[in-house]
Amino acid sequence: MISYKNLGLVNSSALFAKSIQGGYAIPAFNFNNMEQMQAIIGACVETKSPVILQVSSGARKYANQTLLRYMAQGAVEYAKELGCAIPIVLHLDHGDTFELCKSCIEYGFSSVMIDGSHLPYDENVALTKKVVEYAHQFDVTVEGELGVLAGVEDEVSAAHHTYTEPDQVEDFVKKTGVDSLAISIGTSHGAFKFKPGQKPQIRLDILAEIERRIPGFPIVLHGSSSVPQDIVAEINQYGGKLKDSIGIPEDQLRAAAKSAVCKINIDSDGRLAMTAAIRKVFVEKPEEFDPRKYLGPARDKLKELYRHKILHVLGSNDQA
Ligand code: G3H
Ligand code: 13P
Ligand code: ZN
């Protein structure tokens, strides 16, 4: 058993309490390789933002559990070396079983999500409660979910949203003991959220009703990529074949971040940014074959994207 405390990581409790008071959200950026980790930490140190490094079960399989533990520890030391010991959470994104959550806790995670949102309500409650009881013994924080987002996440996909029922949240939080709650209010996973011409609209009214039921309780938004149109155009200009799509408008996310939303998950926009930079090098410099020559620009573009998110969407700058 490796305690996250020995790796220099923190859990999400204090960060969320502060972010609700301060009207900003903590960035939760997914990672599974070194360049992504460097970009995240570089951007967060430069903007003095706390950060949640999150790892999906697919990412954990890809990167290896042991390497991830050292990468997270490395992230802590890297931030110090860059000049600011920002608070760093290592979080399991969309944990689907008790066993996976337990294993992540044993490998140094400071926070886990148990996503029982696809289960019948009572089963979601029972599974989430079981994870909370285990995790809290080790001071690890737990995120649960109510409501189903449209889109794809690992092996699970849903065609339509099922918005979170405000009537259920108080009961869920009480029965499970979770530390934060992911809700479904119109965001969705992946790079293909809405067709151009559609009007994405986060249901801030449902969010307000949820806040009324559980005042001051930390709320999480998944599926919060905005699918930057200039980056999609760049991918397609350099030989990509992405279909037209738009994401969640950044001003709507900024409005949500000012409320009880204290964690905003962004993965797809980072994937798009890296892909655009790599494609550009491949087309403009086809003679290159040193991975540093394309992964380096991908890392730079990713860091710029994260800086932008922190400064203009999350508002978490200067909160480390
Ligand atoms: O919500 C899902 C995240 O974007 C992780 O995606 O399961 O493909 O790693 P992944
Ligand atoms: P996006 O696909 O919108 O980036 O959402 C990521 C996410 O919710 C990870 O859990
Ligand atoms: Zn998600």
Pocket test for ligand 1, best of 94, 143, 184, 222 (most atoms within 8 A of CB): 94
44 C-alpha vs ligand 3 centroid, how far in Å? Answer: 21
Low-confidence ranges of the chain (pLDDT < 70): 152-159
Q: What is the pLDDT of residue 158?
A: 64
Strands 26-30 and 180-183, sheet pairing:
unpaired
Q: Which ligand is nearest to the CA of 228?
A: 2
CA distances from 30 to 40, 171, 256 (A): 9, 30, 20
Assign residue 193 a region (left: φ > 0; alpha: ψ between -120 and 50; beta: otherwise).
alpha
Q: Which atom of ligand 1 is nearest to the CA of 267?
A: 4
Q: What is the pLDDT of residue 152?
A: 60
117 C-alpha vs ligand 1 centroid, how far in Å? Answer: 15
Q: From 116, 139, 134, select the one nearest 5 (Cα to Cα).
A: 139
pTM: 0.97
Is residue 244 annotated as part of the catalytic site, yes or no?
no
222 C-alpha vs ligand 2 centroid, how far in Å? Answer: 5
Phi and psi torsions of 181, nearest 5°: -130, 120
Task: Find out whether the beta carbon of 190 lies less than 6 Å from any atom of ligand 2.
Answer: yes
Q: What is the pLDDT of residue 160?
A: 74
Q: Which atom of ligand 2 is nearest to the CA of 221?
A: 8
Task: Find out whether the beta carbon of 95 lies less than 6 Å from any atom of ligand 2.
Answer: no
Q: Which atom of ligand 2 is nearest to the CA of 187?
A: 3
State the CB neighbour count (10 A cutoff) for residue 286.
8
Task: Find out whether the beta carbon of 304 lies less than 6 Å from any atom of ligand 1.
Answer: no
285 C-alpha vs ligand 1 centroid, how far in Å? Answer: 31
Task: Find out whether the beta carbon of 223 lies less than 6 Å from any atom of ligand 2.
Answer: yes
Max CA pair span of the chain: 60
Asked if 44 contacts 78 with a C-beta cutoff of 8 angstroms, the reply is: no
Q: What is the pLDDT of residue 319?
A: 98
232 C-alpha vs ligand 3 centroid, how far in Å? Answer: 21
Pocket test for ligand 1, best of 54, 248, 267 (most atoms within 8 A of CB): 267
Cβ partners under 8 Å of residue 195, min gap 6 = 244, 245, 246
* Closest Cα to atom 10 of ligand 1: 154
